[in-house]
Amino acid sequence: MRGGGDMLKVEDLRIEQGDFALSANFAVKRGRRVAVIGPSGAGKSTLLNALGGYIDIASGRIEVDGQDVTSAAPDKRGIAMLFQDGNLFPHLTLAQNVGLGIRPALRLDAAEMARVMDALGRVGLRDFADRKPGDVSGGQQSRAALARVLVQAKPLLLLDEPFAALGPALRAEMLDLTSEVARDAGATVLMITHAPEDAERAADDLIFVDGGQAEAPRAVAEVMANPPEALRAYLGR
């Protein structure tokens, strides 16, 4: 693993969708946990989907771990992403869902199967390997999705509010678990959130998205202590 430097570099990125446009120009340091915050409709999800390769960008350049991935397929970008929903296939068992992260064709050998079980064990789901998502709780579904991210072993993790449907206590628990998992894997994290307390709990830096612009990350504590005008309006302080 390369030490130091930038894990994610976004240069002159521009996304256009009808009347909506978003520009971004920033870099994220290796190993940082970054909260992406901003009003509804500001383009937080759009930004993450563009980084993940799920929507077209109008112009600009995206670099992950020193590699230009601007036109790479979503699975060839060194990025794992969790969406608001649809993170697990309902007709596959939790073990199979996690296995997809190692081998999409799902023909796993014994060693790979052991990795799947280790990952499930890491999120406390070892005994639920053969259950299907519909048979476990929402929190357990989130854990299974995290286990898949764990075996995918990508250097950059994007979270598009995957825990939004969980209650406050469970959400906090999942954010802690995500932080642990990311730290163990040495992964850099970008997470969208609506709640400033989530940012303070689970993030080092903060990207504020508003007015068609994604600002460069700054330390959470510093921003929260002295929020700029637009952020203050959003936070209602």
Partner 1 sequence: MARRAQPVNPWLGIIAATFVVAVVIAAFVGISQRIEATTGLRAAEWQAVRFTVWQAFLSALISVLLAVPVARALARRRVPGHTLLVTLLGAPFILPVIVAVLGLLAIFGRNGWLNTGLGLLGLPEVSIYGAHGVVLAHVFFNMPLATRLILQGWQSVPAEQFRMVGQLGLSPRMVFRVIEWPILRQVVPGAFALIFVICLTSFAVALTLGGGPRATTIELAIYQAFKFDFDLGRAAVLSLLQLAVAGAAAVLALWILPPIALQTGRDRVVRRWDAPSPWGDAFWITLAAGFLLLPLLSIALSGLVGLSYMPLSVLSATWTTIWVACVSTVVLLILALPMAAWLAQAKWGGAEALTLLGLVASPLMIGTGWFILIYPYVSPTAFALPVTALINAMMALPFAVRILLPPMRQVFKDYGRLTMGVGLRGMALWRIVLVPRLRPQIGFAAGLTAALSVGDLGVVALFADPDVATLPLQMYRLMGSYRTEAAAGAALVLVALAFGMFWICDAWGRRHAEG
Binding residues for partner 1, per CB under 8 A?
Answer: 17, 49, 52-56, 73-76, 80-81, 83, 85-87, 89-92, 100-101, 104-106, 132, 134, 148, 152
For the bound state, the minimum distance from the C-beta of residue 113 to partner 1, rounded and expressed in Å, comes to 16
For partner 1, which is the closer residue by CB, 75 or 197?
75
Q: How far is the CB of 21 from partner 1 (least distance, A)?
A: 13
Of residues 132 and 201, the one with the C-beta less far from partner 1: 132
Minimum CB distance to partner 1 smaller for 139 or for 162 = 162
For residues 81 and 157, the answer to whether their CB atoms sit within 8 Å is yes
Indicate the residue type of 164. A
Given the complex with partner 1, which of 68 and 197 has the nearer CB atom?
A: 68
* Nearer to partner 1 (CB atom), residue 28 or residue 102: 102
CB of 2 to partner 1, least distance (A): 23
| CB 105, min distance to partner 1, A | 4
- In order, the DSSP letters of the chain are ---SSEEEEEEEEEEEETTEEEEEEEEEETT-EEEEE--TTSSHHHHHHHHHTSS--SEEEEEETTEE-TT--GGGSSEEEE-SS--S-TTS-HHHHHHTTT-TT----HHHHHHHHHHHHHTT-GGGTT--GGGS-HHHHHHHHHHHHHHHT-SEEEESSTTTTS-HHHHHHHHHHHHHHHHHHT-EEEEE-S-HHHHHHH-SEEEEEETTEEPPPEEHHHHHHS--HHHHHHHT-
Shortest gap between Cβ of 49 and partner 1 (angstroms)? 8
**Tally of CB atoms within 10 A around 120:** 24
Q: Which is nearer to partner 1, 26 or 83 (CB)?
A: 83
Q: How far is the CB of 54 from partner 1 (least distance, A)?
A: 5
